[in-house]
Each structure stands twice: as C-alpha cells, then as structure tokens.
Amino acid sequence: MTKFIFVTGGVVSSLGKGITAASLGVLLKRRGLRVSVIKMDPYLNVDAGTMNPFQHGEVFVTEDGAETDLDLGHYERFLDLSLSSDNNITTGKIYSSVIAKERRGRYLGATVQVIPHITNEIQEHILKVADGNDVLIAEIGGTVGDIEGLPYLEAIRQVAGRVGRGNVLYCHVTLVPFIAAAGELKTKPTQHSVNELRRIGIQPDIIVCRSQFPLEGDIKDKIALFCNVRKEAVVEALDAPSIYRIPLTLHDQGVDMLVLRQLGIPATQEPDLMDWREFDHRCANPETEVEIAMVGKYVSHKDAYLSVVEALRHAAAAGGAKLVLRHVEAEDVERDGVGSLSGVQGILVPGGFGSRGIEGKIAAVGYARTRKIPFFGLCLGMQVAVVEFARNVCGIAAAHSSEIDPGTPNPVIHLLEEQRTISDLGGTMRLGGYTCELVQGSRSHEAYKKSVIRERHRHRYEFNNEYRERLARAGLVTAGVCQGRDLVEIVELEGHPWFVGVQFHPEFTSRPVRPHPLFRDFVAAAMKVTGKGALQD
C-alpha cells in the first residue's frame, strides 16, 4: 500500500517546503523505494502559464506540456524523474473539475460544497498520483492559516481516515527566528503555527525548523514538549551554502530512518548517496571559477530563471568550477550599451515573451558573436541570435516578429500559418516534449553523442525557413530540426569558439549529478576563455 508524506509550512512563506519535500524524496528513492511527488497550489489560476514571472518566478514545463509551479523543477532535478500535469494541482484546476461534473449531473442534484465535494476532488487526485508508488510526497503551498489553503489541509486530514493514520506522515516546516536584541532563538512562532495545524485536526509527526543558528538541546526540548512530538522529530534546517546539501544534512540527522519507522517501511538498504556527496564536494571545493553573463528580462527576480541558473551550476560543478553569475538586465543594455558584459567568459540569453528588452538581447548576441565569446541562446535567446545575424551579417532588415515591428514584411522569426489565423485569441504555443534530429558533425551532435534527442518547448514563434539557406551560406547553420515538421530547433555559428542557439528549454532536464550536455559544453567552452577581460577593447 502507498504511504503518504504531507509537507506543510507555517509562520512565513519561502521556508523551503519544496526543497524539504524533494530532499525526502531523494533519500527514500535512493533506498530503493518508488517515489512520486505532487505540489498543491491554493491559487485560483488553472495553471502557472499566465502568471507574472516577477511575482511567481519561473514557469516549469513538464514533458506532457503542463505549465506548472517551479517546485516541480526541484522535484525533477532532485529525484531525477519526469513528471506530468498530474503532479501539480491548483484550486483553479480542482474547481474547474468539480463545476464541470456538476454541469454534467454527476452529483445527482446535491448541493455542491467545499466539503465534501472540493475536498473529495483533492483526495481523488492525490490517490490517482499515488497509485503504483511506494511513497507519495505532497506539498501544500502557502502557510497554515491561509484561508485559501484550508480545503487542502482538510483534504489531507481526511486522507489519514481513508488509508489509515499509520500510512500517513505529516511534516511541518516552520521558522525559529533569532531575535538579536534578546540574543535568543524564539520557539513561539513554531508553537503558534503547530497549534493552528492541530486546531484543524492535524498533528505533525516531524517538525523541520528553519533557523540561522543551531538549535540547542533545550530549544528542541521546548518545541517537542509544546508541539507534542518526540525530540528526535524536531529537525534542524540551517541555512545551507547549496540546496543540494539539504538531503545530506537530513540524512545525517536520521530523518529518513525516522520517516521509515513512522510509516512502517522496512529499512532494507542504506541510501546510495555517493554521487550526490561527490557533487556536493565539487560545489563546496571548486578548483576555479567561471563568470557567465545572463542577459534577461526578469533578472531582478531571483526565481524567474531558476532552472537556467541551476543548470549552469550543474555544469560548472561538473567542470570543477564555481559559477559566478552576472545578472544583466536587457533594457540596461539597450540604454547603456554592452559595457555591462565586459570581461565575462560566456554569455547566455534565456527565454521570455513580448518586445521589452529585445534590442538589448540582440546587442548582447552581437557582442558575443564579434568578440568570440561563448554564447548560448535559449528559446527567445535563439530567436534574437537569428535576428542579430540576419541584420548585421546578411543585411536583412527583418524584425523578430510582426508584433514587434508591424511594418516589417516576412520576418526571420514569425508565426506559423496555423498560429497566425487565431492570433486574436492569443495564438498557440508549442508546449512539452518534441523530438529533434541533429546534424552529424555539429557541436550539438558532439555534445549529445546521439542523432535524435527529445527536449521541452514553451514558445509561439518559429524560425522562418525561407531564410535558412541564406543564413547558412553566411555561416549560421541549422544543426537540428523538429522530427516530422522541418522546424529549426538548433542553430550554430561556424568559425566561432562556441555559439549555439536552441528553440527548446534544455534547462528543464538538467540534473545535479547529470548536467545537460549543452550546458556542460557551453560552460566548458567559457572556462577556456583565459584572462577575463582579454576580449575587451
């Protein structure tokens, strides 16, 4: 029978519920258990696709094309799983399903209410994802006490009644703040948070305490006493130099054994964490450093390009280097020029939507192209690389799209005909996994070491094939095409140390112990740029 771990949070947001859930998943999976995860978000949006990156951060895309919360990215990276739309539910998705059932008469005329109909729908979704797994870890977004989160808390309370309390573990992540004026760690916020959870009917089994300083024995005793848990179930979660350290610190505190005992799961083997420890050691003991400029539209929000940053970290660690990431706002490049890129060893231009900052990204591409600085373009980054080359090498005065320059006919990056006809409704996007055929002898083929790959997409505009041969004659060649559709997926610049643009999002499939091949080779090429600043004027 499947066992359930429900992760909740209290006091404040951003305490690391997602990292805690992912870390528990790593430890249990490395013990040979079949583990799945689910994120439950209390917002009314059906998915994260239309949410502002400045508020919500990155939109993570699954293989089946779901636009989800960024925590699914943590889950995939930590557990090395490929998740789906079922692994992220929102209040909008739940209510849409319930209302659709009501319209079809599925409730036989009953008055549809939050309890039992909404809570039952949540439970059914949880049980669906749990099917076929030994353990399901479910994280509830927000904090205990949020009004929008109450149906989820009630639903997970009821799950224990359906599957048996011995098959359920409640893990509560909370804050133990340090009050400088008093010189003390304070447990009262944790006590209040747990009391609110218990008032709802949930007694936590494990309390993970985020803190800047170690919890002394008397602090743990106090939390255990007032929160009605065993002392060994009060877990210390100090600020760590890397999120990838967390599974190791939890294991060192015996949290995985605590979970196994609580859920009645035999400890048949120790978790195999050798590669994880090696990765952590490389992160903590770099032999050198590599400085990459990321020229984006949302760089002021630390989570807007989360998967890109993590993929760069994976690649840097694989090369024994510390990543020094220079966040460059594309609009600053438009206004002030390319001086902010001076001295970097590599330039990465990530994805984005809309016309804001496009010219700054194009200028960054031109800087990388002419100075022979390793360049990597992702999605929109690939598109602006094509536009820059078309303009400045081929003399084609073609914009990125008619949306940006309505007066430009036949742009090099355009909408497909089937997208153009419904553009008034917002158009359509290519979402999720697509298969790509690589050109033999290309840098991409050399990186992947295979001829057919599969990568995830999230974009609307495409390379205009009418320009393919003309750009190729000038040196910007097609290195990969979408299988069966002849859509350009990868472009590479001949005669450049490393210049690759991809229409897809390779960052979504990078893993700590298995960095993405293109990120790995991009960072490796950047590390070869000696004497930072040598390529300046």
**Residues with catalytic annotation?**
379, 505, 507
Q: Which of 156, 154, 195, 160 is nearest to 174 (CA)?
A: 195
- Say how far apart CA 57 and CA 457 lie, in whole Å: 18
Residue 186: how many other CB atoms lie within 10 Å: 14
Helix axis angle, 150-163 relative to 188-200, nearest 10°? 60
Omega of the bond leading into 214 within 30 degrees of 0 (cis): no
- Say how far apart CA 464 and CA 471 lie, in whole Å: 11
Per DSSP (E only), the strands in 330-448 are: 346-349, 375-378, 413-414, 430-438
Q: Which of 406, 395, 461, 451 is nearest to 428 (CA)?
A: 461
> How many Cα atoms within 13 Å fall on the side-chain side of residue 160?
17
Are 314 and 339 in contact by the 8 Å Cβ rule? The answer is no
Q: Give me the phi and psi of 455, to 5 degrees please.
A: -135, 165
Q: Which of 84, 234, 85 is nearest to 174 (CA)?
A: 234
- Say how far apart CA 53 and CA 67 lie, in whole Å: 13
Which amino acid makes up residue 23? S
Q: Which of 326, 172, 280 is nearest to 512 (CA)?
A: 280
Q: Which long-range contacts (CB under 8 A, 24 or more apart) does 401-406 make?
A: 401/461, 403/355, 404/355, 404/358
- Say how far apart CA 112 and CA 99 lie, in whole Å: 9
Q: What secondary structure letter does DSSP report for 339?
A: G
Q: Give me the phi and psi of 237, to 5 degrees please.
A: -130, 85
Q: Name the 3-class secondary structure at 526.
A: helix
> How many Cα atoms within 13 Å fall on the side-chain side of residue 220?
15
Taking CA atoms, 174 is separated from 10, 41, 75, 137, 138, in Å, by 5, 18, 20, 18, 17
Residue 201: how many other CB atoms lie within 10 Å: 13
Residue with tokens 């960052």: 507
* Alpha carbon distance, N-terminus to C-terminus of the chain: 66
321 DSSP β-pair partners: 288
Angle, CA 206 vertex, CA 4 and CA 85 arms, to 5°: 35
